[in-house]
Each structure stands twice: as C-alpha cells, then as structure tokens.
Structure 1
Amino acid sequence: MKAFMDEQFLLNSKSAVELYEQFAKEMPIIDYHCHLDPQAIYEDKSFNNLTEVWLYGDHYKWRAMRANGIEESHVTGGNGVSDYDRFLAYAKTVPMTIGNPLYHWSHLELKRLFGIEDIINEKNAPMIWEKANARLKEEGFSPRGLIRSSNVRVVCTTDDPADTLEYHQLLKKENDLGFQVRPSFRPDKALEINRTTFLPWLKRLEDACGYAITDYSVLLQALKERVQFFHETDCLLSDHAIDKVMYAEATEEQAAAIFAKALNGEAVSLEEEAAYKSFTLRYLGRLYTEYGWTMQLHIKAHRNNNAAMFSKLGPDTGFDSINDGPLAEPLVRLLDAIEREGGLPRTILYSLNAGDNDVLASIIGSFQGDGIPGKIQLGSAWWFNDTIDGMLAQLKSLANMGLLARFVGMLTDSRSFLSYPRHEYFRRILCNLLGDWVEAGLVPNDKELLGSIIEGICYRNAEQYFRFGTE
C-alpha cells in the first residue's frame, strides 16, 4: 500500500517515476489561460490570512462547501462571518471531497506552497490556520512571490476589449519582474447581442475608443482598434466563451441590420443572433490571423443556472454546469468559413462536455497545416474535466486521433494564486500514462524520445506555439 500523496503520488510504475523526476518535475510553467487580476499582481499586496488567499473567489471550493451543507454566509462571506469561520467550514468540507480533485489540490497547495504536510480536517484546522498564517507573513507570499516560487514564466490574464490594460502596461515596464504578464482578448460581450449587458458594454467600449458606436461598421472598426491596442500591450491570444455553438451564413449588411435592431432596443431572434455572431466571429478570426494570434474557443458551459443566486452573487460564483447540444456541424462551418476567408489562426478548441473529446480531436485534424506543428489544438481538460479521469480522457483522445507530442499542455483557468500545483497534478498524470505505455510495451523505453515529448507538453510546445520568447 502506498502512502497518501508521497513522492510517487499518481506514479504507478518505475518508468512513470523516472519520466516525471527526470523530465517533468522541474520544467517551468506557462499559464496561458487564467483569470488572475493584473492589478493584484502589480500592487503585490500581502494576504491577511489563509482564507483570503485560499477561498476568496474560488468557486470550485464554494460548490463543494454548499454540497456539504455549509451556510452561504460561510461560503462567500457576509452576516459578520469571520475569515477564520469560513476556513473552518472548508476544513470541515475537505474530508468529504475524497474522490474529487479538490481533495488532492487542497493538500498539494498546503504541501507545496506552505510546507504543511498534515491531512486537513476539522480537528487540526486551528493548527493549520496558525501555520499557514505564519508563512503568509514571510517574504515571498505575495502574488508575485507565489508566481515566482511556482516557476511560472508567463501569465495570460483574461481581459475585455474595453479594458484599459493599465496594469499590464505598468508591469511591462518592470525589468526585474521575473515573469511575463500578458493580456488575452475576451470579446464575449461584443457577441452576446441578446444579453442585458450588451448596450451597457457598448458604452464602455465607446469610452475606451473615444467615439460613438453608431452602426455595425463602427463596431468592427472599434474591435480592430482594440485588437491593435492589445497587440501593442503584448497580447498574443484571444479567448471566447462559446456556450452554445451556432452558425448561419450572413453578409456584413445582414449583420449590420441585426446590430441596428439591438442598438434600438428591438428583439433579436435566435436566427438573427446566430447570423450576427457568425459574421462577427469570422471578422475577428481574420484579425487574429493578421496579427499572428491564437484563438481559443471555450465551448459548452451552461452558465448562471440558479437565477436567485445569480441575482444575489453575480456570475462565476459556482452555479454553472456542463452544456450539451449540437457541436460538430456548426463548429466545422465556422472554422471552414474563417479558413476560406483569410486562413484560420492558431486555434485551441475546448469543450466542457467530455463527450465531445473525440469529436473535437477529429475536427482539428481537418484544419492542420501552414507548417505550424499542432496549429489546431485539442484544448486541455478544463473546469469540470480537470480531474484524473478527465485529463486522461483528453490525452487519450488526442493521442488516438492526432499528435499528443505537439500538445501545448496544462493551464490553471483559475482566479487563485495558489493554483499552480495543478500543473504538477497534470504532469504526474501525463508521466504515469506514458509510463504505463512503456511498461506494456506499447512505446519504446527511449528516454530521449519520451523526455523530449514530456518537456514539450509541459513547457516547450507552449513557448514555441504562442511565441512568447521566454528564454
């Protein structure tokens, strides 16, 4: 029987251990998709206590606490509940998360970042609270310190086209930062023409651009100017939340008429929404190709399921789920249209529905080319899928239908500065899979070959694919 989370954690063979220790363990991290706050990185303020750095904004942990019967005031705060009481509520929850990746992540975070080896529970929570808070007072336990100590070379935040990027620009001026902080262009609000956020967001975009957006051609011009502005601030990636994939052929004139309806407060039908989104995405895709960016499509989240809690807490608070519905036909039509009109940019396709892995893995093979290794990527197991089973399923689908060796690897998709041990989790799973193949005689025990593949997936592929120039 193996000890809990020992040095061979998730590594079930001698080959797996060797691959991890020799090739994966010390590789730097490129976190090319996350939701960290660039202002927090710039200001680099220390954390007051463990709850602030561990539980604030972490909707993974919030969902588990609610499922464990914890009152909302102890989950997201309020009603005079202290940070210590919120921590105790999570400590009470952790033992119930066995089988959930939170159980492993929570212990990895305590072990790797705080040096705390204890198995957390309600009884030893006061001692862990004291130990962790004492460490937080030491040098290096600020946002920048945690990024550096986790061996992170690049952080790509998620930013709206109307954002000022002021903190990215300030960080860019710091020669001794030790890592890159780059924005990612997330124009979801430009596409969601039927949401109540659309017109208020247009006002924000007008303020950012300095002129009124009176028709669709002006919107397209504004988006192009913001892409240029982001590019000048070292952006090399876009990102889209495509909760429901839809496609309809449309001309610019048709999209303009639909935009005019929305601008006048008129109802837009689902068919019109599909046409507007399709043309706008085609336009953006051409821009991304022109600027040499990577386009990320995060597909099939079902967001804000609980209307009462959305009204109370807002989005991204743990009330989302996995979506279903058609994927292959509308997605292929979208990708094909962008390819015809100017060539697809580098593209990463993620689905929150693990049942889509093989569909996406087969689609990406239809659009590879231009001499770019792995130009179209099957995205990392994401959100509800970044479990052991979810990661393995994604890796196997890619290996079965494409080139696993060209995969750009793991990301955190997190709002927490403590999330980097998730890269270790992924790397151990990857090395165990390849170690299993070695032990079964499915691949040669060629350390030079396997080592180059592992180092590529852990770091080098992303560095080259996104052209970050980290060395």
Structure 2
Amino acid sequence: MKDFLDDNFVLENSVAELLYHQHAKHQPIIDYHCHLDPKMIAEDYQFDNLGEIWLGGDHYKWRALRANGVDERYITGKDTTDWAKFEKWSETVPYTMRNPLYHWTHLELKTAFGVTKLLKPETAREIYDECTEKLRTKEFSARGLMKHYKVEVVCTTDDPADSLEHHLALKKEGFEIKVLPTWRPDRAMAVENPTQFRAYMEKLSQASGVSISNFTDLLTALRKRHDFFAEVGCKLSDHGIAHFFAEDYTDVEIDRIFNKVYGGNELTIEECLKFKSGLLYEGAIMDWEKGWTQQFHFGVVRNNSSRLFNKLGADVGGDSIADFSQALNMAKFLDRLDSKDKLAKTILYNLNPRDNDLVATMVGNFQDGTVAGKIQFGSGWWFLDQKDGMEAQINSLSNQGLLSRFVGMLTDSRSFLSYPRHEYFRRILCNLIGRDVEKGFLPASEIEFLGKMVENISYYNAKNFFKF
C-alpha cells in the first residue's frame, strides 16, 4: 500500500518515476491561460490569511461546500470571518475524497507551505495558523508564490477596453516573470441585451478613441485596441463561447443588425448568431495578421441557477457541461479561415468529454505543415482538469494526432496557489507513458526520446509555439 501524496504520487512504475523526477519535475511553468488579477501581481499583493487566498473566488470549492450542506453565509457571505469560512472548508474536505479537490487541496498545502498533514476539523486551526503566518511574509506574496513555483510566463485574461496599466507597470519595472495580457473580446459579441451592449460600445469607444456608431466603427475600435494589446506583449486571444458561430451572412446584414441592437432593439436568435459569426471571423483575421494564437473554450451552459445568479451574479458555481452539437459549425468556421490561408494557430478546449475524439480529429483537418501542431487539442478544461479528464484528453490526442507536439497544461485559475495543477498534469502524463512502456506498448530502448518528449510537453513546446 502506497502512502498518500508521497514523492511518487500517481506514478505507478519505475519508468513513470524516472520520467517525472528526471524530466518533468524541474521544468519551469508557462501558464498561458489564467484569470489572475494583474493588479495583485503589480502591487505584489500580500494575503492576510489562508482563507482569503484559498476560498475567495474559488467556485470549485464553493460548489463542494454547497453540496456538503454549508450555508451560503460561510461560502460567499460578507458577514463572517475568513477563519469561519475556512473552518467550514476543513469540515468539507474529508467529504471530497475521490473529487480532484482532495488532491489539489493537499498538493497545494504540501508544495506551497510544506504541510503534509491531512486537512480536517482536527487539524484545521493548526494548518490555518501555520499557513497564515507564512502568507504574511514576503516569500509568500503574490510574486513570491510565482517565483516559488518557477513560473516563467503568465498570460492573464483581459477585455479589449482594459487599460492594461498593470501589465505596463510590470513591463516598465522589468519584473523577471513575463505577465502578458490575453485578448478576450466576449463582451463585444454579447448582443443579447441591447442596453448592456450599448454601454459596452461607449466604454470601448472611450478606450479606443473611436466614435462607434456602426459595425465598421466597431471593427476599427477593436483593431486599435488589438494593436495596443500587441504593443504590450499580447500573443494570444481567447473566446468563451457555448458553441462556434458560423452562420452565413452579408456585410449589409451585419450593418443592419448592429444598427438595430445599438439603437436599443432586441435581436432575433438568427440575428444574434449572424452578428457573432461576423465578429468572430473578423477577430480571427486580426489574430492571424499578428501571428497570435487564438483559443476557443466551448461547451459550457452558464448561470443555470437563477437563484444563485440573481443573488450573487456570474461565475459563482452555477455552470455545467453543455450538450451542444459542435462539429459542423466548428468545421465551417475553421474552413472559412483556412480556405483563405488566414487561419491562425489555434487551440480548441472542449468541456463535454463526449467531444474529445471529435476535437482530436478536427484539429487534424487543418494542419498545414507550417508549424508543428499548429492546431491544438487543448488540455482538459474546467470540469475536465482532473485525472480522468486529463487521461481521456491525452488518450484521444494520442490516438488521433501527435501527443509529442502538445503544448501542455495551464491553470485557468484565479488563485496563486493553483500552480500544482501543472505538477498534477505532469505526473499523470508520465504515468501514462510509463504504463505503456511497462506493457510493451512503447519501446524501453527509446527512454531518452520519451524523456525529451515529456520535457517538451511540460515546457518547451509551449515556449516555442507561443514564441515567449
């Protein structure tokens, strides 16, 4: 019987152990998609306690707490202490066994703070006090934690109207870790609510210096901001979409639709789809022109609980996997760009695991020989960034494409304690390869190549693919 979370956690044989400890473990981290607050990095934020850094904004934990019968007051409430919330979390952790939260919780305690005790009510106060004391030192500030985990590059998620003032400050300072913006234009496509759309157009107009009164103006404003993002170091865009938009449309139709929604009138479903299709395509052209990588996160149905949404808003743990049909529109969108030789490097992240082989085969359709792995099947995302989800994604990619060209893991997190997800992924990757060698599915004589393959997937592929 193995000890929980020992040095060979997840690693089932000697080959897996060799691959992880000699080739994966010490690689730096390139976190090319996350939701960290750049202000906290620029100001080198000092966390007050373990409850603040661990429970604030973490909807993974919030879902588990609710499932365990914890009152919302101890989850997102404003009238209780961080300790009281942490105490409820410590009561919940034992009930998360077989949920990835159990692994992540103890990986973070061990790798950040050196705490190897299991978190439960009996150990809660001791762990809280020990970690809080460390968090109040410089070594455990926002930057200190990034350095601790050997982070080399972080790409945040930023709206086109954002000032990027904190990225600029970090760049001017010469902070050794690259903190780069990522272009996330979702709000420019959100035409379902005319009032909110008009307000966003005014915000974008102010940021770009372009007076927006038609669709051409909108593209001009977005292009100016796109240029600005590039000047600050942006190399990626990202789009959070339920499914791909690839409706047929004409320029005249898009102009009319813009005028309608800008004037405060609600659009039909068909009009919404046409507008989103046009803007998604034009944005992809901008990305291609600059040599950026475009990312698409799709397959989620958001804000399912009106009770939670009305009380707390979005991103509070009310989202789930969606079952939209993806293949036809995805193929049509990618082909529109590829047929004109204007398809940028692309990463596709699906949330529904039924779509794994769909995506793995789709990326193969649009490889063009110009860049190794130009079209990528992205790592297990959100509900799939756990052991089974990662293994399924790796296996589908291996079966249908080239795992060796994979750009690897990311955190997709708002927490400075989430970097062990890279370790978790690397251990899972090494174990799968080690298992194949042990079974004779891969040649033991090629261990040197396999070791280099692990290094590439852990670090070098991303570094070279994104040109960081």
TM-score range, shorter chain: over 0.9
Alignment match, 1:201? 200
Alignment match, 1:162? 161
Deviation at 1:370, TM superposition (A): 4.2
Counterparts of residues 128-147 of structure 1 (less than 5 Å): 128-147=127-146
Indicate yes or no: 2:356 matched with 1:352: no
Counterparts of residues 211-230 of structure 1 (less than 5 Å): 211-230=210-229
Deviation at 1:46, TM superposition (A): 0.9
Q: What is the SS of the residue equivalent to 1:348?
A: strand
Deviation at 1:11, TM superposition (A): 0.2
Instruction: Output the amino acid matched with 1:295.
Output: Q
Alignment match, 1:23? 23
Alignment match, 1:52? 52
2:210–2:220: 8 Å Cα contact kept in structure 1? no
Structure 1 distance, partners of 2:451, 2:198, is 51
Q: What is the SS of the residue equivalent to 1:240?
A: strand
2:408–2:458: 8 Å Cα contact kept in structure 1? yes
Overall identity of the aligned pairs, in %: 49
Indicate yes or no: 2:42 matched with 1:42: yes
1:89-136 CA-to-partner distances (Å, cap 9, x unmatched) read: 000010000011100000010011011110010111011111111211
Structure-1-length-normalised TM-score: 0.97
Instruction: Output the amino acid matched with 2:425.
Output: F
2:322–2:352: 8 Å Cα contact kept in structure 1? yes
Deviation at 1:155, TM superposition (A): 0.3
Instruction: Output the amino acid matched with 1:430.
Output: L
Q: Which runs of 4+ in 1 moved over 4 A?
A: none
1:36–1:416: 8 Å Cα contact kept in structure 2? yes
Alignment match, 2:310? 311
Instruction: Output the amino acid matched with 1:258.
Output: I
Structure-2-length-normalised TM-score: 0.98
1:38–1:168: 8 Å Cα contact kept in structure 2? yes
Counterparts of residues 165-314 of structure 1 (less than 5 Å): 165-175=164-174, 177-195=175-193, 197-314=196-313
Alignment match, 1:385? 384
1:62-114 CA-to-partner distances (Å, cap 9, x unmatched) read: 11101101110101122x21111000000001000001110000001001101
Structure 2 distance, partners of 1:138, 1:467, is 34
Between stretches 346-355 and 267-276, larger displacement belongs to 267-276
1:250–1:279: 8 Å Cα contact kept in structure 2? yes
1:286–1:342: 8 Å Cα contact kept in structure 2? no
Alignment match, 2:120? 121
1:245–1:326: 8 Å Cα contact kept in structure 2? no
Alignment match, 2:368? 369
1:367-405 CA-to-partner distances (Å, cap 9, x unmatched) read: 001420000000100000011100000000000000000
Instruction: Output the amino acid matched with 2:2.
Output: K
2:296–2:349: 8 Å Cα contact kept in structure 1? yes
Between stretches 339-348 and 293-302, larger displacement belongs to 339-348
2:242–2:324: 8 Å Cα contact kept in structure 1? no
1:189–1:197: 8 Å Cα contact kept in structure 2? no
What stretches of structure 2 of length at least 5 have no aligned partner? none
Structure 1 distance, partners of 2:196, 2:333, is 25
Q: What is the SS of the residue equivalent to 2:252?
A: helix
Indicate yes or no: 2:107 matched with 1:99: no
Structure 2 distance, partners of 1:25, 1:351, is 27
Alignment match, 1:66? 66
Instruction: Output the amino acid matched with 1:249.
Output: D
Deviation at 1:342, TM superposition (A): 4.3
Structure 2 distance, partners of 1:129, 1:279, is 51
Between stretches 133-142 and 195-204, larger displacement belongs to 195-204
Q: What is the SS of the residue equivalent to 2:295?
A: strand
Q: What is the SS of the residue equivalent to 1:3?
A: coil
Structure 1 distance, partners of 2:456, 2:251, is 41
Deviation at 1:212, TM superposition (A): 2.2
Deviation at 1:341, TM superposition (A): 3.3
Deviation at 1:207, TM superposition (A): 1.2
Deviation at 1:31, TM superposition (A): 0.3
Q: What is the SS of the residue equivalent to 2:240?
A: strand
Alignment match, 2:463? 463
2:404–2:457: 8 Å Cα contact kept in structure 1? yes
Q: What is the SS of the residue equivalent to 2:205?
A: helix
What stretches of structure 1 of length at least 5 have no aligned partner? none
Alignment match, 2:321? 322
Q: What is the SS of the residue equivalent to 2:173?
A: coil
Structure 1 distance, partners of 2:201, 2:87, is 43
Deviation at 1:351, TM superposition (A): 0.7
Counterparts of residues 83-98 of structure 1 (less than 5 Å): 83-98=82-97
Structure 1 distance, partners of 2:98, 2:286, is 43
Alignment match, 2:77? 77
1:188–1:240: 8 Å Cα contact kept in structure 2? yes
Instruction: Output the amino acid matched with 1:146.
Output: L
1:157-194 CA-to-partner distances (Å, cap 9, x unmatched) read: 0000000000000001122x221000000000111211
Alignment match, 2:7? 7
Q: What is the SS of the residue equivalent to 2:365?
A: coil
Structure 2 distance, partners of 1:308, 1:231, is 40
Instruction: Output the amino acid matched with 2:447.
Output: K
